[in-house]
């Protein structure tokens, strides 16, 4: 037995399609006229009462017994998008749950309940950024330690640049720079529109995931892009730390 998808009965297909396209970036992947399946697997079904054999007056909308659940890495960005559609009915305003996750419940044009919340991974990352350890984060988010450990490893590796620099420990992070991976090497100290020479070499020229795959590390490019604030001793320590970070990826 295989579970296939979730079907939603809709009164107006075009209205429903516009809702899911605009707010949830969904597209139609299977179009069968009255029946359309979206990117996420949800199927919208018009004239469901006729197909299933229900009497039209028995069709129930605005149910509070189930919901569709979406997660986003940027909850504030979703809220800003939602503000552009004042016609969308809200069950409540954004709130923070005891496990620190922020979320909101809204209704689609047919009264189907939808929850949109920030991902628990992003919730955990905020705790890591504040210096919380794995155990503390597990307690605050009410999640098992082994799950939080996986999140931490993902968080840690996502902040390691192609040259092994831990962006989260950099004085420029989240102020002057979003992080090497986030900006794809186009950091503030290189000409606008250009990528760092190290990023350019590893990613674009050698098609490596990072410098850890290169036999020449630490190479001349590393030394040519030295931060002038480092003394000779500090720079060698920095190189050693970056090489070690790459080995752990």
Q: What is the overall mean pLDDT for the chain?
A: 92
**Percent of the chain residues past pLDDT 90, beyond the cut:** 65
pLDDT, tens only, 83-128: 999 999 999 999 999 999 999 999 999 999 999 999 999 999 999 9
- Residue 231: exposed, middle, or buried by beta-carbon count in 10 A (0-12, 13-18, 19+)? exposed
Length of the chain: 249
- Residue 229: exposed, middle, or buried by beta-carbon count in 10 A (0-12, 13-18, 19+)? exposed
pLDDT, tens only, 16-64: 999 999 999 999 999 999 999 999 999 999 999 999 998 988 888 898 8
Give the per-residue pLDDT at 245. 86
Distance CA 205, CA 226 (A): 21
Query: Using omega within 30 degrees of 0 as the cis cutoff, is the peptide bond preceding 140 cis?
Result: no
| pLDDT higher than threshold 80 for residue 231 | yes
Distance CA 27, CA 40 (A): 9
Phi first, then psi, for residue 8 (nearest 5°) are: -115, 130
Give the per-residue pLDDT at 73. 93
Distance CA 249, CA 245 (A): 7
Residue from 72, 74, 5, 77 nearest 36 by CA:
5
Tell me the whole-structure pTM to 2 decimals. 0.76
Give the per-residue pLDDT at 237. 92
pLDDT, tens only, 134-157: 999 999 999 999 999 999 988 988
Distance CA 107, CA 62 (A): 8
């Amino acid at each position: 037995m295989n579970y296939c998808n979730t079907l939603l009965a809709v009164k107006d297909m075009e209205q429903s399609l516009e809702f899911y396209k605009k707010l949830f970036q969904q597209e139609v992947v299977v179009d069968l006229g009255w029946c359309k399946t979206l990117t996420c697997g949800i199927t919208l079904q018009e004239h469901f009462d006729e197909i299933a054999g229900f009497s039209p007056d028995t069709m129930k909308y605005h149910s509070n017994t189930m919901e569709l659940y979406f997660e986003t890495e940027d909850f504030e960005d979703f809220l800003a998008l939602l503000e552009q559609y004042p016609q969308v009915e809200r069950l409540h305003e954004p709130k923070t749950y005891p496990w620190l996750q922020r979320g909101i419940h809204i209704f689609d044009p047919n009264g189907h309940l939808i929850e949109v919340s920030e991902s628990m991974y992003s919730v955990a990352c905020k705790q890591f950024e504040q210096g919380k350890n794995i155990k503390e984060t597990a307690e605050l988010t009410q999640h098992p330690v082994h799950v939080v450990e996986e999140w931490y490893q993902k968080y840690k590796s996502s902040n390691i640049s192609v040259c092994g620099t831990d962006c989260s420990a950099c004085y420029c992070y989240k102020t002057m720079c979003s992080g090497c991976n986030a900006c794809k090497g186009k950091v503030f100290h290189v000409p606008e529109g250009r990528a760092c020479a190290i990023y350019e070499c590893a990613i674009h020229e050698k098609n490596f995931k990072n410098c850890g795959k290169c036999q020449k590390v630490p190479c001349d490019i590393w030394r040519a892009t030295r931060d002038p604030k480092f003394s000779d001793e500090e720079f060698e320590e920095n190189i050693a730390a970056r090489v070690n970070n790459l080995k752990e990826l």
